[in-house]
Chains A and B, each alone.
Chain A
Amino acid sequence: GDSVTQMEGPVTLSEEAFLTINCTYTATGYPSLFWYVQYPGEGLQLLLKATKADDKGSNKGFEATYRKETTSFHLEKGSVQVSDSAVYFCALTHTSGTYKYIFGTGTRLKVLA
């Protein structure tokens, strides 16, 4: 079945450091890919998404590129801030045949001032 694998956390960085959170997936066909972010005490909210191969999703300085050849959707940010401290979830869904979303286990990011 479909699955999403994320790098283990927690990830601890200093402010202004470069961030990469790895995400790979297993799925048939061409799923849509998402990154969601969960701030402390809140629900998940969409950070960015990509719906086809080679698409780049971006938002708030975060970017991720849909790589079909490596089945990856790694999240990057050039300069993290303390306010980026949160849990990040990679997810996928298919364009047809299912209403379900598959989430990774989440990666906790802590940014130190």
Chain B
Amino acid sequence: NAGVTQTPKFRILKIGQSMTLQCAQDMNHNYMYWYRQDPGMGLKLIYYSVGAGITDKGEVPNGYNVSRSTTEDFPLRLELAAPSQTSVYFCASSGERTGGETQYFGPGTRLLVL
């Protein structure tokens, strides 16, 4: 049971390039989330999904896109990278929507846009 996995661990992008951050979970969780964590700041929700084929915007969706074709995978797409997207990106998942449900986090992807 690997939990939540993310690839790559670290990436440098040039301004205007695109990339996909991969996220997978093997816990059969319906709910998956993408957050960004800027230095010294808390987590901001980018997108989330409540099941395969269903996604919705979080607080800071601009410049990102997501898809959820399977329960296991929830990739995050960056189009036209900008320096403001330099951050650490965390994927998370959780089980049924009941009170007190724990989120499980991946190890993160550190992205630097130059």
Q: Which residues of A contact B (CB under 8 A)?
A: 32, 34, 36, 41-46, 49-51, 89, 93-96, 99-101, 103-106
Contact = CB atoms under 8 A, between A and B. Distances in A.
A43 B105 contact: yes
A104 B50 CA distance: 23
A104 B37 CA distance: 12
A50 B99 CA distance: 10
Interface stretch (B41-49, B65-73, B74-82): B41-49
B108 to A, nearest CB: 5
B45 to A, nearest CB: 6
A106 B42 contact: yes
A49 B90 CA distance: 21
Contacts of A51: 99-100
Contacts of B99: 32, 51, 93-96
Question: Interface centre among B48, B50, B105, by most A CB within 10 Å?
Answer: B105
Given A99-B48, A100-B48, A100-B58, A46 B43 contact: no
Name the interface size band of chain B: 20 to 34
A103 B56 CA distance: 19
B8 interface: no
B105 A45 contact: yes
B106 A43 contact: yes
> In the complex, which of the residues A34, A43, A96 has the most CB atoms of chain B within 10 Å of its own CB atom?
A43
Contacts of A93: 99-101
A88 B48 CA distance: 23
Given A105-B41, A106-B42, A49 B58 contact: no
B103 interface: yes
Contacts of A96: 97, 99
Nearest to B106: A43
